[in-house]
Structure 1
Amino acid sequence: MEPIELHTPRLRLRSWLDSDLPAFAALNGDAEVMRHFPACMSVAESDALAGHIRQHFAEHGFGPWVLERRDQPGLIGVLGFQHVGFEASFTPAVEIAWRLHPAFWRQGYALEAAEMALYCAFTQLGLDEVVAFTTPANLPSLGLMQRLSMQHDKAGDFEHPRLPQGHPLRPHVLYRLSWQAWLEATVE
């Protein structure tokens, strides 16, 4: 299967290169980027995550792409899809996830890339639904989910099973977007 590459007016969502690993490690080691995650990642942890992402692409034909600006190549973040890797009331499911370097926040890049990725999810990948989840305090991600026409599934909110009881980041909110809801939102 030929790797899927996506283009928007300003961005390119592409396959991973070994040369992306240092910028990915810097992203995962940034305290501001990782404030809604349990901890920053070491270089080894970041490299292992990149390996996991590449494996997901090999197994499923999709995953979180490297996100770069078309006018200046190089990883500015990651955005794409992955199978949820834990059991919850809403699994099995495919989630859309993103992580951007702070220098590229509040410029519409995540929205632009996510809209193109969702187009791919529902027209090329044939997904029926995409979910997203985060901590209630992650207002930028919640805002992006809402701008993408994702709907909060209050009944699906959950305690993240990979975090210990009582951990402040354990409560998560769940958002969903079905193919039908995406289609209706794109026609409006």
Structure 2
Amino acid sequence: MRLETERLILRPWEDRDRAPLAAILGDPQVRRYYPGTATPEEVNAQIDNAIARTAEFGFHLGAVEHKADGKLIGLLGLGRLSDLMVETIPGHPLVEIGWQLDKAYWGQGLAPEGARACLAYAWTELGLPEVIAYTAAINTPSQRVMEKIGMRRDPDDDFAHPKIAEGHPLRQHVVYRIRRPE
């Protein structure tokens, strides 16, 4: 999957993306709504997993390149949920949309811009009936992006993340949904 927007190129992962993504996901501010920063080894495993899932399902979260400067600025895209998350999230959704961007690019509307392109692809190319997004209940910046792209939250879908310890401030998660337009 390769998509272009006015300011972004959404594309498959390349080896040249590993070090820049490790720097982005190694930043404590970028990862403040995750249990911790990602090590370079974890980033390599994440990219390898995304490549494998793309081969298996035809899509997965990919690289985001900023057109103006050609820099990798993070990850964004559609992803097939893991079996654990399908079973955990009410309604057992199959596909999520997600993003993590370098903090230097926050506040510019880039996440909604890329996410809208991914949703258009989900509807027209993949024929998906629904896409969800989920995040820690305290992650209001991501929730604002979800709302900007037309997603809506139903509190009945909220859940405790099975990989985050009980009592941890990030354990409680919210789910936003959007259905394919008629």
CA contact (8 A) 2:25 2:43 kept: yes
Name the counterpart of 1:161.
162
In structure 2, the gaps of 5 or more residues are none
TM-score, with normalisation over the residues of structure 2?
0.94
Name the counterpart of 1:130.
131
In structure 1, the gaps of 5 or more residues are 184-188
Q: How far, CA to CA, are the matches of 2:106 and 2:6 in structure 1?
A: 17
Correspondence list, 1:131-150, <5 A: 131-150=132-151
Moved over 3 A (4+): none
Query: What is the count of residue pairs matched by the alignment?
Result: 178
Q: How far, CA to CA, are the matches of 1:92 and 1:145 in structure 2?
A: 16
C-alpha displacement of 1:12: 0.6
CA contact (8 A) 2:93 2:132 kept: no
CA contact (8 A) 1:66 1:75 kept: yes
Name the counterpart of 1:97.
98
TM-score, with normalisation over the residues of structure 1?
0.91
Give the partner amino acid of 2:137.
P
Q: How far, CA to CA, are the matches of 1:6 and 1:48 in structure 2?
A: 24
- Classify the secondary structure of the residue corresponding to 1:133: strand
Name the counterpart of 2:11.
14
Name the counterpart of 1:75.
72
C-alpha displacement of 1:137: 1.4
Q: How far, CA to CA, are the matches of 1:18 and 1:43 in structure 2?
A: 13
Q: How far, CA to CA, are the matches of 2:76 and 2:166 in structure 1?
A: 29
Q: How far, CA to CA, are the matches of 2:114 and 2:157 in structure 1?
A: 26
Q: How far, CA to CA, are the matches of 2:169 and 2:67 in structure 1?
A: 38
Q: How far, CA to CA, are the matches of 1:54 and 1:74 in structure 2?
A: 20
Name the counterpart of 1:175.
176
CA contact (8 A) 1:83 1:92 kept: no
Identity %: 40
- Classify the secondary structure of the residue corresponding to 1:36: coil
Work out which of the residue numbers 14, 25, 30 in structure 2 matches 1:28. Answer: 25
